[in-house]
């Protein structure tokens, strides 16, 4: 039996040949991930098993939370810079994360170190305070965590309470510098960027701090407190860009707590929008 298909064999003389099939449309290229600057720490030689050289490091929880949100973290080497140099550092980035770590030198806010204050490093303080100011002045989205929250406050002229651990009337806020953390309940202020990001009025986050915000820096407002009244988050009232600073460590529980992950989601979304703009 002859073929009855439409291969043109039985077409009338002079008829146009069938049009060739259309070429497949290539898939759309994925949207580039916003590149996020993440502050790191210099690790002395011999501190890492089976690694002979000095190193640069930051806890991977920060980078993992950014990655889940669609961002890509890049760890920065702390080095002394002025405000102009900090602005140049941020030129290639869509956002900045100021991470947790050692205490800010109290001399930065006009005090002498308390006996419990530890680990202060002039180069790290200079670098991160300059980065915080540059991010605010250039409307670069900024997420400041634990030490980062304190850096932001000091950068704007605020002060810190140098040691709250064990003080009567306060709940436990964790033991820093490797001593372990505690889960702490936070009351979120309505109408803040933090509230918009988390979508809740109360949350539970992991805390490791023995210091806290005392006098607020210029233009900052409190956006969350612990149940004992300790300031647990601040943010600028009139910042041109997205900025939230929290005293707890949302990155530690973000993989299993959607509320904490939302903070990274909102931050990366702000970074993505700034890059598009």
User: Which CATH number covers residue 98?
Assistant: 3.40.50.880
Catalytic residue among 128, 232, 235, 251: 251
Q: Nearest 10 degrees: CA dihedral of 184, 209, 140, 159?
A: 120
Residue 43 lies in a domain: yes
Is the pLDDT at 27 greater than 90? The verdict is no
Is 25 part of a structural domain of the chain? no
The whole model's pTM is what? 0.88
Does any domain span residue 121? yes
Give the total number of structural domains in the chain: 1
Per-residue model confidence (pLDDT) at position 84: 94
Long-range residue pairs from 228-237, CB within 8 A, at least 24 positions apart, any chain: 228/169, 228/170, 228/171, 230/164, 230/170, 230/173, 232/184, 232/186, 232/205, 232/207, 233/149, 233/186, 233/188, 233/192, 233/194, 234/149, 234/152, 234/153, 235/192, 235/193, 235/194, 236/136, 236/156
Domain assignment present for residue 3? The answer is no
What element of type H or E holds 55? strand 55-57
Question: In a 3-state reduction of DSSP, which class is residue 277?
Answer: coil
Check if 243 is active-site.
Answer: no
Catalytic residue among 128, 146, 209, 210: 146
pLDDT of residue 239: 81
In a domain, 94, yes or no: yes
Annotated catalytic residue within 149, 184, 249, 252: 249
Active site residue 251: yes
Tell me whether residue 146 is one of the annotated catalytic residues.
yes
User: Is pLDDT larger for residue 56 or for residue 97?
Assistant: 97
Domain residues for 155?
35-163+236-276
Indicate whether 16 pLDDT > 60. Answer: no
Give the rounded percent of residues in the chain with a pLDDT score beyond 90: 76
195 assigned to some structural domain? no
């Amino acid at each position: 039996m002859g073929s009855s298909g439409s291969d043109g064999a039985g077409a009338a003389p002079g008829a146009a040949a069938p049009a060739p099939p259309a070429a497949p449309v290539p898939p759309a290229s994925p949207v580039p991930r916003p590149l996020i600057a993440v502050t790191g720490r210099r690790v002395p030689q011999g501190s890492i098993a089976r690694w002979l050289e000095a190193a640069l490091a930051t806890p991977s929880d920060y980078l993992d939370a950014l990655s889940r949100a669609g961002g890509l973290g890049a760890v920065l080497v702390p080095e002394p810079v002025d405000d102009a140099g900090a602005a140049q550092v941020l030129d290639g980035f869509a956002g900045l994360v100021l991470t947790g770590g050692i205490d800010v030198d109290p001399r930065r806010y006009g005090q002498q170190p308390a006996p419990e204050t530890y680990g202060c490093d002039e180069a790290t303080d200079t670098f991160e305070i300059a980065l915080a100011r540059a991010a605010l002045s250039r409307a670069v989205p900024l997420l400041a965590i634990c030490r980062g929250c304190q850096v932001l406050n000091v950068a704007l002229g605020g002060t810190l309470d140098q040691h709250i651990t064990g003080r009567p009337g306060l709940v436990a806020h964790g033991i820093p510098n490797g001593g372990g953390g505690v889960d702490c309940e936070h009351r979120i202020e309505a109408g803040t960027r933090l509230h918009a990001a988390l979508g809740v009025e109360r949350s539970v986050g992991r805390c490791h701090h023995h210091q806290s915000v005392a006098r607020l820096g210029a233009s900052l407002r409190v956006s969350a407190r612990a149940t004992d009244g300790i300031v647990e988050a601040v943010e600028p009232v009139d910042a041109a860009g997205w900025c939230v600073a929290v005293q707890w460590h949302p990155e530690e529980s973000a993989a299993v707590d959607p509320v904490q992950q939302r903070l990274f989601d909102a931050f990366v979304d702000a970074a993505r929008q700034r890059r598009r703009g």
